[in-house]
Structure formats: C-alpha cells, structure tokens
Amino acid sequence: MAGKLRMRSIDEGDFKGKAVLLRVDINSPVDKQTKRIINDNRIRKSVPTIRDLSEQGAKLVLMSHQGDTTDYASLISMHEHAKRLSEALGKTVDFIEDIAGPAAAERIERLKDGDILLLDNLRYFTEEVSTFEDSVKLDPAGMGRAYLVRRLAPLFDCYVNDAFSAAHRNAPSMVAFQELLPSYGGRLLIGELGALQAITEDPERPCVFMLGGSRAGDAFGMIQRVLSDNSADAILTSGLVGQIFMLADGLSLGKASERVIEEKGYGRYIVEAAGYLSRYRNKIVYPRDVAFERHGSREEVQVDALPQDEMIFDIGKDTVSLFAIEIERSKTIFVNGPVGIYEDDISSTGTRNLWKVVEEANGFTVVGGGDTVTSFTNFTDTTKLNYVSTAGGALIRYLSGVRLPLLEAMGRAYDRV
C-alpha cells in the first residue's frame, strides 16, 4: 500500500508480458483556432508510469479523454497526444483511431511486450462525457455494462489508474474496471495524493484562496467548504467567479458580461454568493477595477463606473495591488483559475502581474488546474512554486472534502485483495 492510501501501487505488481490498461488524463489545453496542444504538462507528468510499465515488459494500452461536450471546442482526436508522448518518452507510442471497436481489439491482441498504444478520445462515447453523470446515476457495477468496459475488460490482465485530475468523474473508464481487474495506482496519482495530504493536514495561517477562471461550479463548491470549516482567512475572487460576486453585491456589469454568466447557467451562484457576502463579507474580496477592450485598446474602470457595453476580460491594476497585499501576508496560498483571459496579450496583464506576485511569495504556494498551470508556465518560473498539481476540478473537490469516485473505486479494489 502507498502511505495511508487504500490502493496498491505499481511497485506491488508484476507486469511482464501482461496486457495492462492504463487510464491517464492527458486532457490538454488546445489553441482555439489550430486545435494544437498548447501545454503538455499532463503529458510529461504521465511519462514515469508509462515508462516503468513499458520497461517492465507490459503490453501497454493508454486511454484518456480530451476536451468536453459543454462546447466541443477542444473535443479532438488523441493523435497529437501520441506524438507528444513519444517525444517525451523517447519511444514510440502508437495511436489508433478507435476506442473499443474491432480495430482496437485486433490491435491490442497483436501488441508485444513493451509496446505502447494510445486509444482515441474516450469522450467520443456518450458513456464517458462529464455532463452525462448529472442525469444518469450508475454505480461502478452498473457501469460495467458500458460498451467500453464490456469490450475492453476481457482483453486485459490488469488496470492501472494514473488520472488524479479526473478523479471526480464518475465515468466507466475511471471507476468500473476496478470491479473486474486487479487494479493499481500509477506514480502520478499516488504522488499527487501524497503531496495533497501533506498540505491539507494543518496548513499554516493565514491561508488564502484565489479562485478565478470560468468554472463557477467548482469554485463555489470549494468556497462553501472553506468558509464553513473556517480554513480560509481570505478568498480573492476574479474571472467569472469574481463577476458573480459583483452581481451578488448589486453591481451591474453590462450586457455583454452578464450574458456570458446567464448563458452558462450561473444565475444560481449569484444567489449563493449573496448569502456568503452577508455572512462572510470580511473574508471575500472581489475586483475593485476591471479591464476591457475598446477600439482596439485596453481600458480599465473602477467597478463603481460600471456598467459598460464591452465584455470584461481582466482585473485592473488596483485589484492586482489589493490581491498582492493579501498574497504577501499569507503563509498558505492556493490558486485555481486565471484572473482574466490570459491567452491574449491585451487581456493577460492581470494574470501575468499577479502570478509574478505568487511566484515570489514567501508562503507555501499550491497551484492547480489546466488553464492555471498553463498560464503560470507562460508567465513564471514554475519551479519557484511549492506544488503544481495536474488537477483542477478534482483538486478543488479533494480540498473541499468531497469523496472522489476514483478513490472510492480504488479503495474497494484494494479491500478485495
């Protein structure tokens, strides 16, 4: 067993000549236009487990999702992932444009010891999409009837999971194979859990949470927890999360910004945010000034000068200074979500300047989330941060005390041994 974790590590298995199904999470940010991968952090961090299993002589098959079905924007094939993995590993990772059909089965059966094959995007299957779990509640045994599991499980001797960043997804690829195959945790999964256990056990105070980005559901789940258990001394909000707090406090943002919040169905969080403001106003900070583009140039206004027609895309410099004071006085700093649209020069100033403050902070810095890590990689020297997680939603839920489906499934498999 790995530390206090209820799962076997790959050090406890013998994989020579075995057909091993390895669930990784190499879901990566892609360029909106070209659909090329713009950050390969998760790909590189998946390499140690892949290398170990292949060098031991496993017939290794990798599966992962890429993108999601909320906007289909990055729901693309895994072809480039195989190329990037091959480069990072220094060994060929083959790719097949199939997941569990006859072509994949035939190819898996032909694998030789040490070979590595990557299947196509798991989210091409409805069974695997993250939105599906909201309306269909299947337990892991029920998920054993999914096409993916029925087709693939009989082809393998064991299952390894190294996808901590998808641990919150109750999907067949994450929780069902453990019911049928001997199961192990990969190096990244066990490493992430070890590091997070260390920071959740009695973090140094003051402890500040910087929550931005556009995934309001994730942020609000965490806000609820860290306010009610008193682990947050301050919550600095930005991105859409910050805008929701501004609306909750009676500010009007302007039509363009409010439409985005409405289209994402985030109206319910405005009510929730109003409740937090009435009980915890001294701990919650939202932007004092915001930025937008007008006639091709960046402009900033104080929030009391809102609403304005253009869409808000960043925080202003006064907010950067305000947040910097909180960051500099904190002993534990958790960051999830860029403060604005970090991909364009004109809108990245806030994220760029604030991430520099985090990079230089004396407190223990923990950073997680796909876009968050990409933006830190773009703007800072990430080796100066104390802990960079590959996870976003899973990390937030873990820190929120939510039970993660993956950990439950690995625990059940461990108890059966």
Contact between 141 and 179 (Cβ < 8 Å): yes
Our finding on whether 213 is near ligand 3PG (CB under 6 A) is: no
H/E stretch holding 183 reads strand 183-185
Q: How far is the CB of 26 from ligand 3PG (least distance, A)?
A: 9
Is residue 172 near ligand 3PG by the rule CB under 6 A? no
The closest of 296, 339, 338 to 317, measured between CA atoms, is 339
- 381-to-37, 174, 193, 324 alpha-carbon distances in Å: 20, 33, 24, 18
d(CA 394, CA 406): 10
Q: Is residue 49 within 8 Å of 13, Cβ to Cβ?
A: no
Q: Tell the smallest beta-carbon distance from residue 18 to ligand 3PG (Å).
A: 27
Based on the shown chain and the rule CB under 6 A, indicate whether residue 221 belongs to the binding site for ligand 3PG.
Answer: no
Closest residue to ligand 3PG in the complex (CB): 27
186 counts as binding ligand 3PG under rule CB under 6 A: no
Joined tokens for residue 331: 């002993």
Q: Is 287 in the site for ligand 3PG (CB under 6 A)?
A: no
Instruction: Report the alpha-carbon distance of residue 186 to residue 172 in Å, rounded.
Output: 18
174 neighbors 406 (Cβ within 8 angstroms): yes
d(CA 382, CA 327): 17
CB of 10 to ligand 3PG, least distance (A): 21
Distances (CA, A) of 347 to 253, 267, 341: 17, 25, 6
Only one of the segments 110-118, 163-171, 305-313, 376-384 lies at the binding site for ligand 3PG (rule: CB under 6 A); that segment is: 163-171
Question: From the CB of 141, what's the least distance to ligand 3PG, in Å?
Answer: 22
Of 137-145, 164-172, 219-227, 261-269: span binding ligand 3PG (CB under 6 A): 164-172
Q: What is the DSSP letter of 153?
A: G
Min. distance of Cβ 212 from ligand 3PG in angstroms? Answer: 15
Question: x/- string (CB under 6 A) for ligand 3PG, residues 114-143?
Answer: ----------------x-------------
Residue 25 binds to ligand 3PG (criterion: CB under 6 A)? yes
State in angstroms the smallest separation of the CB of 230 from ligand 3PG.
27
Report the C-alpha gap between 24 and 11 in whole angstroms: 17
**Least gap, CB of 75 to ligand 3PG (angstroms):** 10
Q: How far is the CB of 66 from ligand 3PG (least distance, A)?
A: 8
| DSSP β-bridge partners for residue 236 | 210, 285
Task: Verify binding: residue 192, ligand 3PG, rule CB under 6 A.
Answer: no
User: How many CB atoms are closer than 10 A to CB 41?
Assistant: 18
Cα–Cα distances (Å) from 26 to 156, 386, 401, in that order, read 21, 22, 25
Q: Of 52, 68, 98, 272, which lies in the binding site for ligand 3PG, with binding defined by CB under 6 A?
A: 68
User: Cβ 156 to ligand 3PG, closest distance in Å?
Assistant: 22
- One of 166, 270, 284, 407 touching ligand 3PG (CB under 6 A): 166
- Scanning 165-173, 196-204, 283-291, 305-313 for contacts with ligand 3PG by CB under 6 A, the matching segment is 165-173
C-alpha 222/C-alpha 224 separation (Å) is 5
By the rule CB under 6 A, 211 interacts with ligand 3PG: no
Q: Which of 41, 121, 165, 170 binds ligand 3PG (CB under 6 A)?
A: 165
Beta bridge partners of 334: 209, 366
Closest-CA residue to 286 (of 312, 313, 315): 315
Contact flag: residue 23 with ligand 3PG (CB under 6 A):
no
User: What's the rounded Cα separation, in Å, for the pair 222 and 368?
Assistant: 13
Q: According to CB under 6 A, which one of 27, 257, 348, 365 is a site residue for ligand 3PG? A: 27
Q: Give the footprint of ligand 3PG on residues 368-397 (CB under 6 A).
A: 370, 392-393
Q: Which is nearer to ligand 3PG, 291 or 395 (CB)?
A: 395
**Between the CA of residue 6 and those of 1, 375, 412, what are the distances in Å?**
7, 34, 8
Binding site for ligand 3PG (CB under 6 A): 25, 27, 68, 130, 165-166, 169, 370, 392-393
